[in-house]
Amino acid sequence: MDSQTERIFEDAVRTGRRNAVTVEMARRHCLNMTFTECGGQGIAEAATGLPINMRQVGCLVAHGSASGNLDWIAGEFYEQHCVGCVHRRPTGDVPNLATVMDERREAAVRAEETERAETARRHHAWEQRAEHRRGTQASSDTAMAGALDDIGVLDQEPGTERDKAACDGALRRLTALAERAPETFTTEVIELALHPDDGAVRFDHDHYLKIWALTRPKIDADFLLLDEAQDTNPVVEQVFLGQREHAQLVMVGDSAQAIYQWRGAKDIMTGFDGTQLALSRSFRFGPLLAEEANRWLAIADAPLRLTGTTAVPTELGPVLRPDAVLCRTNAGAMVQAMDLMAGGQRVGLAGGGESLRALAVAARDLKEGRRTTHPELILFPSWGELQDYAAHDPAGRDLQPFVHLVDTHGTDAVLTAVARFAPEEHADVIVSTAHKAKGREWPRVKIADDFSPPQDSPAQDDTGRALPGPIDDAEARLAYVAVTRTRQRLDIGGLSWIRDHPDGNPLARHGGARAMDRAGMR
């Protein structure tokens, strides 16, 4: 199969696994409930035995809709025919369809209450800003009063439709005024212009860290240890090295786990003048996993090679009930979380659900015709543009699962799922991005399927098949972090493509190198 066919097949298998869970939840709820094939036999179901084909839900006394997504039609059928049904034949097992539907209703109520409270908060903040502008205008000159009017145009009432032409005009006038008469923008006017969304200036950890660093602090210590030194931002580096005159400095880190360059971090161990000591044995996992880790270390061109502890028999293979699922992106984490919830599992999200809630709210804004300030979606003026980018631009592949999720379920369903996240200590499974998983470990780990292989290169192998392109060093380091989070068993899942990639498969590497030489890529 080519890569596109493989992805279609993998999507079908994921649907089949979700459907199998739905069938079991329905069986536990009522032995009369059935899912009857009604659309022919597909090759994916024939190959896997999973319920992938079109099915119609029904029972002895009622018939429901037909779909390839059994979760949808089971939920609809339950609401229409199962509540209070006197013919129900339950198995007595939980969770079942009834408990799953109860949990969804409760989560929807919580999500609605949270959203209602947030809407009220935003509207109250807007009313306060509008009142402040009116009070300031009363004592303003003509230029300042006009600027405040234009700020009011941009700071529209929450929930109202955005007048793009009016906003563009207001922004042009404010820009021209700032160039012509900057003295108009007093402190009070600037404060009213800087934060029209919620009336608060964003003030994060990075801001007060910089303020503290500018004081040139002296840390009263004889020894100072910097952990995760491979991902240190320049501000922390300046503070740390500034203690050299009175303290012994120690850095600890793994250069192969440098995964935050995208936010300005750097590996400061490379230029550190000190004695270097290496630790190459892992006490977390065994030799088999060390071999997998070394595959990614070689691709990342890291000098380190690991050895595992023989007393720790870590295995590689399928994991049906993982303790953690590690994803490449926030969007991928949301997809995984909803799939696991559909299967009746209590899901915890590493770091909490606020980041995914913000992403879902941003998607809703785009779908409703409003621009968003969310950093992952800020460049898109509309949902249609985001859909087009995810579908046709190679750089948009990371967003494809999230776009598909929102198009399939809607933002309300995503927000409801976020409200259902359980605290980690009460969860059956933890979903995490690989970035947030760094420094953590679990007994059984599964790699999610949003770790996409690189795009095919122009080169071909001896059979004429396109060869995959080279693997980016940063992606190899992130994969190395992901595969080394387990103690007992790893399901390499979404990274399994590495076994067919020339860089990760010694048997394929020689032929791939010849082909790349022919194409002038090396």
Give the DSSP per-residue string, 324-335.
EEEESSHHHHHH
Mean pLDDT, rounded, for 137-154: 84
Question: Which residue in 473, 483, 388, 490 sits closest to 437, CA to CA?
Answer: 483
In DSSP terms, which residues pair with 429 in a beta bridge?
347
Q: With b meaning 16 or more CB within 10 Å and e meaning fewer, what string describes 501-513?
A: bbbbeeebeeebb
Query: What's the pLDDT score for residue 369?
Result: 84
The DSSP H or E segment spanning 55 is strand 55-58
Q: What pTM value is reported for the model?
A: 0.62
- Residue listed under structure tokens 């984490």: 333
Helices then strands (H, E): number in the chain?
18, 13
- Residue listed under structure tokens 């059956």: 428
**372 pLDDT above the threshold of 80:** yes
Model confidence pLDDT, tens digit, residues 20-46: 999 999 999 999 999 999 877 778 888
| Residue 264 or 85, more confident | 85
- For the chain, what is the mean pLDDT? 84
C-alpha–C-alpha distance, residues 415 and 47, integer Å: 35
In DSSP terms, which residues pair with 36 in a beta bridge?
56
DSSP per-residue string spanning 263-277:
GT-B-GGGG--S---
What DSSP character marks residue 193?
H
C-alpha–C-alpha distance, residues 174 and 42, integer Å: 60
Is residue 162 within 8 A of residue 136, CB to CB? The reply is: no
Residue 369 CB neighbours (<10 A): 12
Query: What's the pLDDT score for residue 84?
Result: 92
C-alpha–C-alpha distance, residues 338 and 417, integer Å: 6
In DSSP terms, which residues pair with 447 in a beta bridge?
326
Model confidence pLDDT, tens digit, residues 448-476: 988 988 888 787 777 878 777 888 899 99
Model confidence pLDDT, tens digit, residues 484-518: 999 999 999 999 999 888 888 754 444 444 444 44
What DSSP character marks residue 81?
I
Please name the residues in contact with 508: beta carbons below 8 A apart, sequence gap of 6 or more.
500, 501, 502
Q: Find the farthest-apart pair of alpha carbons in the chain and give their distance in angstroms, rounded.
A: 83
Model confidence pLDDT, tens digit, residues 157-177: 877 776 778 877 887 887 777
C-alpha–C-alpha distance, residues 457 and 451, integer Å: 18
- Record the tokens describing residue 61, joined without a space: 């006394």
Mean pLDDT, rounded, for 144-155: 84
Query: What's the pLDDT score for residue 164?
Result: 74
How many residues comprise the chain? 522
Is residue 267 within 8 A of residue 477, CB to CB? The reply is: no
Q: What pairing do the DSSP bridges indicate for beta strands 63-67 and 55-58?
A: antiparallel
Backbone angles phi, psi at 230, to 5 degrees: -70, -15
Is residue 353 within 8 A of residue 418, CB to CB? The reply is: yes
The DSSP H or E segment spanning 392 is helix 383-392
Mean pLDDT, rounded, for 420-424: 88
In DSSP terms, which residues pair with 486 in a beta bridge?
442
Positive or negative torsion for Cα 53, 58, 64, 70: negative
